[in-house]
Every structure is written in C-alpha cells, then in structure tokens.
C-alpha cells in the first residue's frame, strides 16, 4: 500500500475507534511527518484525501480538524482498496460534471456528430437542453431535473431531504449491489427477512456474506428473537421491507417499527429499507430515515411504471451518497439519462400522477377480487394484505415445489414459497400476484391445493 494511504487509513481508524473525536485538531503536517517517519508530501496528500472524504475540515491559519462523523462508526467501510479504486476516477468525474469550452482530453466524440441519428424522432417530448443532456453521460448522481422532482415527491411523503441525499440507480437490485460492495466485506454478517427478497440472498452469497434470518410472520417479527440476533450475532446491516412486503404483502406494525429503530440504534446496525411500492401505497415514505437509527432508504419506479426503465434511487446522508456515487462511477459510470429524462417528463406533465391514481384504484379492486376468489379455496388463510402492493401469501399443506411443477405442465406459473426462505424452509406456501389470478389459475388452485 502506498505510504499516503497508510497514513489516511491510520487516521480513519483512529476516528472510527474514538481515539480522535469530532473537534480534535490533527497534528501539523510537520509534526505528523516526524511522528510517522514519512515525508511532508505524504502527509499533505493523506490530509487532502481526508478533506475530500469529509473526515476533516480546515480552519484558516489553524490546521485540520475532525468533523462530526457523517458515517456511523459501526458501518463505515471505506477501505484502502476503495481508496485505491477511487484514484483516477476523478478524471472521469470531471468529464461528467464539468462543462469545458475546450476539451482535447475528453474520451468521447463531439455531439455534433450524433445529429445524423435524429434521436429527437424517438424522444419527441425532449428538446433543446433536455435532449442535449441525454446525449451526454450526465451527472454521475443522476439526471438533475429528475433528482429534484424525486426530492419533491419524497418531501410530499414526509421524507425531508435535498438532492445531495439522493443517488439515482439502475433499479433496486443495482442499489443493493452498490450497498453490499460498499459496506460489506467477505465474512461479514447481515440480517435478512425470511421469507424475503430472494434476489438479495443471491447477491449476499455471491459476495461471501453470512446471512442471518428473522422470520417474517403475519404480524411481523418475534421482537425478542430480533434482539437476541443483534446481541449475540452482531449483524452489520438489517435488510427489510416494512411496507407491502415481498413476498407476504404485509406491513410491519407501528410498535415493531419503533422497536426496530431502538434496537438498531442500540446495537449500531445499519437499516437498509426497501420500499418498492412507495408510489401506490399510503403513508409516509420512511419511518426510519428521520429516526436516530442509521438508515439507507431505497425505492424505484419498476413496480409502478415499467421494469424496463431500470430506474431507482438511494436516499442516505450526503457523505454516504458522495461515496456511493464514486462507486457507481467505477462500476457502471452512470445510469441512463434518456430513461431518467423520460420519467422526469412523465412527472413534469402530470402523466405519472394520473397513472398512479389509476393504479391505486386498480390495486384496490384487484385486492378485493383476489381475496374473494381465494376465499373459495378451503383451509387457506391469506396474510393481511396491503392493497398498495402486489402480493398476498398463504400456507399450504401441499409441497409447494411439486405444486409449481404440476402447474407448469398446465401452462401456469406459480411462485412456490420455499424459494423465498433464507436458510431453513419453515413451511410450504404460495405468493400470489393479484393482477394475474385469472379463472384458470383459480380453478387449478381449487383442484390441487391441500389435496
């Protein structure tokens, strides 16, 4: 490791462990050089990196001071490997965020040579600066007008943030991937819901992360079990979906949200809150974000517009967003300005809100018809269902995987509950999407369930 990175990591570790606290003055460049036996230039570069990553501030003619940590010391994870990876990415960032009149160092060809594509034909609602913006990589944090509109949407749902707290992603799966890469190292433990979001399980396994599980029941969790996991197993992150949960369709009760917040603060566990049905469900955006528990909030447009847009967003402290933006630059450079501009146009012209109001009505009607239909099947009890979500869930005595195989032979796709469990499969179940419970599917379930 380069010397300046060793100095940087040493100081970060001292901040994280409480050796150096907010308000402490760092030794002068000369003093630190002498203390560590390194050159003054090495210390200068290390201090500048601390300044860039917002661990310190400078005071005129006074020196460098530790600032109030914007990362909780339990889950801060800017490793030396990350710092090495970030070196050089600044050049790309300059191309994306700065407008230069003269740019012989640029890595692309000029926009003038794109005119023959006539892209305006395919984007008729975009013109002038909006169209030009779509022909560039754009701001690495995402299309600026859309970020502003998402901030407004969230404020209307009692999540008071600004654009520095928001990063656009290529959907929730991309958001989860960024968080796993950023905060977790191989061998770390995290807590997931079971049943829960199975694509997350695969991502964690691929990264070598240990999955701990808490059973998501019709009423929520066993809160005693939850505290025991935090106390005995020390997970670094708790991944959860409080509202319109996938796959059970349930909401966590208010008293559970309050207890989760208290426990995560007590045991310094980072909450990663996934909210795919924000736009169709009722209530505030996030219970946790403005609590004292460390929280990152995720949502997307995939469940309410179209999955092919691959557009989501991450809400976190400005320091975390700044670091995740660098990771986004390293991994995919940027999300699609064209997709984000189309979504922004849907918001600006009111189409999104008209669509959402129609969806809410349809969601409610479909929920009612689904529950009435399922009531014709003996011996099943669907879990409480948030009408703003897509799913309901119920136990069955039949082997759910075998039932799904029989269904496939009848040209019917079922989602067996066993796929959604993390680790031990507690029981057989089915997840039903209320938009696809047609007459043929219902007749199949009436014939084969619990027989």
User: For residue 102, how many C-alpha atoms fall within 13 Å in the half-sphere facing its CB?
Assistant: 0
Supply the DSSP string of 150-163, one letter for each residue.
Answer: HHHHHHTTT----G
Query: pLDDT at position 303, please?
Result: 86
Query: pLDDT at position 85, please?
Result: 57
Q: Are 186 and 205 in contact (CB under 8 A)?
A: no
Mean pLDDT, the chain cut into blocks of 10 residues (451 residues total): 82 72 89 92 91 82 76 47 56 59 66 68 67 71 94 93 92 96 92 97 96 95 97 96 96 95 91 95 91 88 86 90 89 88 91 92 87 87 90 92 94 95 91 91 89 68
Q: Are 135 and 111 in contact (CB under 8 A)?
A: yes
Query: pLDDT at position 379, please?
Result: 83
- DSSP 8-state secondary structure symbol assigned to residue 26: P
Q: Are 302 and 172 in contact (CB under 8 A)?
A: yes
Q: Which residues contact 321 (CB under 8 A, 6 or more apart)?
A: 141, 164, 165, 166, 167, 314
Q: Are 414 and 430 in contact (CB under 8 A)?
A: yes
Rounded (10°) angle between helices 400-409 and 439-448: 130
* C-beta neighbour count of 222 within 10 angstroms: 12
Could you tell me the maximum CA-CA distance found in the chain, to the nearest angstrom? Answer: 81
Supply the DSSP string of 241-252, one letter for each residue.
Answer: --SS-TTT----
Instruction: Tell whether omega for the bond before 209 is within 30 degrees of 0, i.e. cis.
Output: no
Query: pLDDT at position 200, please?
Result: 97
- DSSP 8-state secondary structure symbol assigned to residue 104: T
Q: Are 337 and 358 in contact (CB under 8 A)?
A: no
Q: Are 180 and 203 in contact (CB under 8 A)?
A: yes
Q: Which region holds residue 22: left if phi is over 0, alpha if psi is between -120 and 50, else beta?
A: beta
Query: pLDDT at position 14, please?
Result: 75
Query: pLDDT at position 60, please?
Result: 80
Query: pLDDT at position 323, please?
Result: 84
Q: Are 240 and 274 in contact (CB under 8 A)?
A: yes
Query: pLDDT at position 366, please?
Result: 86
Query: pLDDT at position 95, please?
Result: 59
Least Cα distance to 175 among 145, 200, 149 occurs for 200
Query: pLDDT at position 79, please?
Result: 45
């Amino acid at each position: 490791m380069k010397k300046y990175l060793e100095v940087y990591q040493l100081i970060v570790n001292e901040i994280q462990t409480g050796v150096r606290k907010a308000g402490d003055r760092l030794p002068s460049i000369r003093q630190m050089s002498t203390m560590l036996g390194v050159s003054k230039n090495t210390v200068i570069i290390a201090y500048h990196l601390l300044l860039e990553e917002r661990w310190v501030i400078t005071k005129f003619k006074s020196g460098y001071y530790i600032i109030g940590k914007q990362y909780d010391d339990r889950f801060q994870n800017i490793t030396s490997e990350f710092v090495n990876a970030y070196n050089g990415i600044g050049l790309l960032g300059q191309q994306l965020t700065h407008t230069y009149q003269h740019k012989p160092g640029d890595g692309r060809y000029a926009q003038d040579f794109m005119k023959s594509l006539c892209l305006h034909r395919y984007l008729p609602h975009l013109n002038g600066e909006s169209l030009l913006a779509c022909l560039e990589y754009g701001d690495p944090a995402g299309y600026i007008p859309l970020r502003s509109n998402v901030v407004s949407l969230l404020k209307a749902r009692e999540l008071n943030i600004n654009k520095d707290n928001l990063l656009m992603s290529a959907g929730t799966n991309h958001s989860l991937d960024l968080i796993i890469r950023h905060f977790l190292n191989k061998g770390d433990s995290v807590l997931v819901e079971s049943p829960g979001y199975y694509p997350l399980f695969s991502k964690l396994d691929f990264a070598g992360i240990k999955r701990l599980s808490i059973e998501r029941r019709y009423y929520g969790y066993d809160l005693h079990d939850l505290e025991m996991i935090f106390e005995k197993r020390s997970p670094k992150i708790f991944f959860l979906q409080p509202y319109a949960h996938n796959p059970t369709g349930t909401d966590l009760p208010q008293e559970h949200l309050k207890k989760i917040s208290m426990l995560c603060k007590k045991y310094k566990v980072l909450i990663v809150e996934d909210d795919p049905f924000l736009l169709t469900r009722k209530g505030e955006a996030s219970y946790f974000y403005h609590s004292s528990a460390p929280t990152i909030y995720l949502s997307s447009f995939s469940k309410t517009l179209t999955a092919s847009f691959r557009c989501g967003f991450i809400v976190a402290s400005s320091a975390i967003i700044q670091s995740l933006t660098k990771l986004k630059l390293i991994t995919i450079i940027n999300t699609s300005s064209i997709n984000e501009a189309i979504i922004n146009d849907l918001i600006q012209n009111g189409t999104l809100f008209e669509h959402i109001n129609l969806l809410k009505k349809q969601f409610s009607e479909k929920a009612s018809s689904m529950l009435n239909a399922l009531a014709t099947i003996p011996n099943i009890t669907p879990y409480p269902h948030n009408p703003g979500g897509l799913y309901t869930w119920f136990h069955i005595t039949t082997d759910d995987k075998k039932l799904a195989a029989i269904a496939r032979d009848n040209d019917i796709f079922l989602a067996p509950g066993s796929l959604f469990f993390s680790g031990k499969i507690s029981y057989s179940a089915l997840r039903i999407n209320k938009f696809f419970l047609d007459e043929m599917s219902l007749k199949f379930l009436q014939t084969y369930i619990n027989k």
